Chains A and B, each alone.
Chain A
Amino acid sequence: EAQVTQNPRYLITVTGKKLTVTCSQNMNHEYMSWYRQDPGLGLRQIYYSMNVEVTDKGDVPEGYKVSRKEKRNFPLILESPSPNQTSLYFCASSPKFFPYNEQFFGPGTRLTVL
Chain B
Amino acid sequence: AQKITQTQPGMFVQEKEAVTLDCTYDTSDQSYGLFWYKQPSSGEMIFLIYQGSYDEQNATEGRYSLNFQKARKSANLVISASQLGDSAMYFCAMRETYGQNFVFGPGTRLSVLP
Contacts and interface: CB of A to CB of B under 8 A. Distances in A.
Interface of A: 33, 35, 40-45, 48, 50, 56, 58-59, 88, 90, 92, 98-100, 102-105, 107-108, 110
Given A42-B106, A42-B107, A98 B99 contact: yes
A39 B104 CA distance: 13
Contacts of B37: 105
Interface in B56-114: 91, 93-107
A106 to B, nearest CB: 9
Among B47, B93, B101, B102: residue with most chain A CB under 10 A = B102
Give the size range of B's interface with the partner: 20 to 34
Interface string B22-56: 00000000011101010000011101001011000
Q: Is the interface of A mostly helix, strand, loop or mixed?
A: strand
B101 A58 contact: yes
Nearest to A98: B97
B97 A42 contact: no
Contacts of B52: 99-100
B89 to A, nearest CB: 9
Nearest to B52: A100
Interface in B1-30: 4, 6, 9
Q: Which 7 A-B pairs have the closest CB atoms?
A: A99-B33, A105-B45, A99-B95, A42-B104, A43-B104, A42-B106, A102-B47
